[in-house]
Structure 1
Amino acid sequence: MGCDGGTIPKRHELVKTPKKVEKVDKSAALAAQWKYCALSQEKLRRPIVTCELGRLFNKDAVIEYLLDKTAERPNLEVVTHIRGMKDIKELNLTDNPAWEGEGRTIQGDRYEELHCAMFICPVVGLEMNGKHRFSYLQTCGCVFSDRALKEVKTEICHKCGEQFRSEDIVVLNGPKEEMMKLRERMEEKRLKVKTKKSKKNKVVEAVFKVPALKENTTSSQLEAQETSSTQEGSDDTDVAGPSGPSSSSSSAAASAAASSSSFPSFSSSKEAKAAMAAAATISKRSYQKMGEKSEVFKSLFTTHTSAKRTKDQTSNWVTHTPYHF
């Protein structure tokens, strides 16, 4: 069993054992999530923003990414779902009075508290260091701990007083399972927005088609009236006969069919309201050009000639459309 020089080999030199799995330090992992930007890996500093998945970013880092998406960055897969500034929300955080900054421990003469966080929950006072679950509200951006939201159940924000729903609560730096749920919810919201936009575009297109259809129907109605009048002139002797009421009923049915085909059919009242609003915007005109309105009514608006002032009546510092002399 001996080797040259009388050395004796040990067991780990002769038997190959499986390598030990490297374990990640929990404190270091929590510090990386709650103290550093998920995109630039720099320390978090105000203004701090978050996405719909609950990750924390520096606002300037996200803006740089949106301006130049071709640049090389360490964690690009973290921000692939961010399309613009509407997909992020600036957080309304509460400062921790016990936080003294990281510059006090440079000399090494003081104890460094790793779990001391820069921000706390404004209701319960828990520190936002990763040991406790924190969530933010998509309506106002205020951040609270889950303990505060469970103990004090309300539909009004504890900090700013704005109303919110349970759907507006998003967990910050949640586990993978919650990340998957948040991603599914985000995709559902985006699909709903796309469907709404497509419906609005269809309604607007239908409204723009209405004037052209009206012109076609009016011309067809005039032609129908001319033909009916010629037929009545040729059949004056048979007015009291059975052909008279049948011809009038057929013309009425044709006009009703034309009028019904001129306007588009709407499946819901919302689409009809949107169509009416679009038609109102199209048919807008100035009150000064309306002949049926009186001069007293027209003088109420700034477009009237009495509201205009000459250069002598105004001075250099006066703003637009002054109402004093």
Structure 2
Amino acid sequence: MGCDGGTIPKRHELVKGPKKVEKVDKNAELAAKWKYCALSQEKLKRPIVACELGRLYNKDAIIEYLLDKSAERPNSEVVAHIRNIKDVKELNLTDNPAWEGERHNIKGDCYEDMHCSMFICPVVGLEMNGKHKFLFLQTCGCVFSERALREIKTEICHKCGDPLQEDDLVTLNGTKEEVEKLQKAMEERRAKAKTAKKSKKSKATKVSKSQDLTGSCDTSETKSTSLNGEGSSASRSDSAPGPSTSGECSKTLKAPPGPVIGSKRSIQDMKDKSETYKSLFTSHSSAKRTKDQISNWVTHTPYHF
């Protein structure tokens, strides 16, 4: 506390001011972004993928997250925008020939360059360590530095030859402003995809309905033609003038010349049957009697003998 033994306290020892903001080491921040997975915080190893916002991940970590999203994982908010494996792109990276690996300095008696990276730009040769801006193509996944794309302007990918467009370029580990622009572009792209899917579905339903209607019409036509081809002639109505209360023409129906489907045919008209067979039925001429031959009914009781 002071005032004992002649010590004099200073102001900063008695009055506590606001805490100073801790400064993050830039080298450590760059190493965390460019050498470690944004989801699992493990060291990046092939295959490496990138999302539409430009973050780097191990492909194994993304697959594990998509298979079980219910599991509690740190940094899960970083991958909240990833819905399926199509939302990430596997990167086509170029190895750095100067990279000796992690086991060359096991004893700790050698100088270790913290800025040395595993990958470089295939055009200019800059190392992908965060000091230089890098971009990747969403179509092919090739990675280049911004300097290479600025100095050598071309409409074709430098590595694989695919067509290169500015809309397909995504900045890796960009600033907050760049990430916000990428997020807006991602939302617009997804909204366009949804509208396109809805329009395709509506067109498909319209086509299916029209096909159903045409199919029903075709079946009705085939039925009508089959009925006409079997020999069943439909009854035709001939208009004949006659007296009518309403003043309209009354239509009379004529009997068809041939047998109609569903009509009963008399046994006596069958030519393939014999007369003995026809005489068994009451419709035969021998079964018909005159009025003189028909006797009156006589009532009697069953008890009369």
Provide the TM-score with structure 2 as the length reference.
0.70
Going by fraction, where is helix more abundant, 1 or 2? 1
| Cα 1:35–1:11 shift into 2, 3 Å | same
Matched, 1:152 2:148: no
Partner of 1:113: 113
Matched, 1:122 2:122: yes
Partner of 1:60: 60
Partner of 2:209: 209
Matched, 1:79 2:79: yes
Give RMSD over aligned pairs.
Answer: 2.5
Specify the SS of the correspondent of 2:170: strand
Specify the SS of the correspondent of 1:103: coil
Instruction: Tell me the CA shift for residue 235 of structure 1.
Output: 8.8
Instruction: Tell me the CA shift for residue 74 of structure 1.
Output: 1.3
Offset from partner CA, 1:198-239 (integer Å, 9 cap, x none): 11111111111114434469979xxxxxxxxx9x96499xxx
* Structure 2 CA distance for aligned equivalents of residues 120 and 2 of structure 1: 60
Specify the SS of the correspondent of 2:207: helix
Amino acid at match of 1:94: T
Offset from partner CA, 1:150-180 (integer Å, 9 cap, x none): 1111111101111121111100000111111
Partner of 1:319: none
Instruction: Tell me the CA shift for residue 10 of structure 1.
Output: 1.6
Partner of 1:301: none
Partner of 2:143: 143
| Cα 1:56–1:235 shift into 2, 3 Å | farther
* Structure 1 CA distance for aligned equivalents of residues 210 and 238 of structure 2: 34
| Cα 1:212–1:99 shift into 2, 3 Å | closer
* Structure 1 CA distance for aligned equivalents of residues 59 and 212 of structure 2: 50
| Cα 1:7–1:235 shift into 2, 3 Å | farther
Instruction: Tell me the CA shift for residue 116 of structure 1.
Output: 0.6
* Structure 2 CA distance for aligned equivalents of residues 66 and 140 of structure 1: 23
Amino acid at match of 2:129: N
Partner of 2:92: 92
Matches within 5 A, 1:27-38: 27-38=27-38
Specify the SS of the correspondent of 2:104: helix
Partner of 1:294: none
| Cα 1:191–1:14 shift into 2, 3 Å | same
Amino acid at match of 1:93: L
* Structure 2 CA distance for aligned equivalents of residues 7 and 205 of structure 1: 91
Amino acid at match of 2:43: K
* Structure 2 CA distance for aligned equivalents of residues 95 and 235 of structure 1: 99
| Cα 1:104–1:218 shift into 2, 3 Å | closer
Amino acid at match of 1:79: V
* Structure 2 CA distance for aligned equivalents of residues 187 and 167 of structure 1: 14
* Structure 2 CA distance for aligned equivalents of residues 217 and 142 of structure 1: 55
Offset from partner CA, 1:175-203 (integer Å, 9 cap, x none): 11111111111111111111111111111
* Structure 2 CA distance for aligned equivalents of residues 172 and 83 of structure 1: 20
Partner of 1:9: 9
Offset from partner CA, 1:216-273 (integer Å, 9 cap, x none): 69979xxxxxxxxx9x96499xxxxxxxxxxxxxxxxxxxxxxxxxxxxxxxxxxxxx
* Structure 1 CA distance for aligned equivalents of residues 113 and 206 of structure 2: 65
Aligned residue-pair number: 229
* Structure 2 CA distance for aligned equivalents of residues 235 and 23 of structure 1: 109
* Structure 1 CA distance for aligned equivalents of residues 54 and 212 of structure 2: 50
* Structure 1 CA distance for aligned equivalents of residues 170 and 122 of structure 2: 17
Instruction: Tell me the CA shift for residue 6 of structure 1.
Output: 2.7
Offset from partner CA, 1:35-87 (integer Å, 9 cap, x none): 00000000000000001111000000000000111112111011111111111
Instruction: Tell me the CA shift for residue 2 of structure 1.
Output: 5.8
| Cα 1:77–1:212 shift into 2, 3 Å | same
The gaps in structure 2 that reach 5 residues or longer are: 222-234, 242-305
Offset from partner CA, 1:92-147 (integer Å, 9 cap, x none): 00001111112212211111101111100000000000000000001110000000
Specify the SS of the correspondent of 1:89: strand
Amino acid at match of 2:196: K
Amino acid at match of 1:88: V
Matches within 5 A, 1:156-305: 156-214=156-214, 215=216, 234=239
* Structure 2 CA distance for aligned equivalents of residues 193 and 2 of structure 1: 72
Hey, which bits of structure 1, 4+ residues long, moved more than 3 A? Answer: 211-220, 232-236
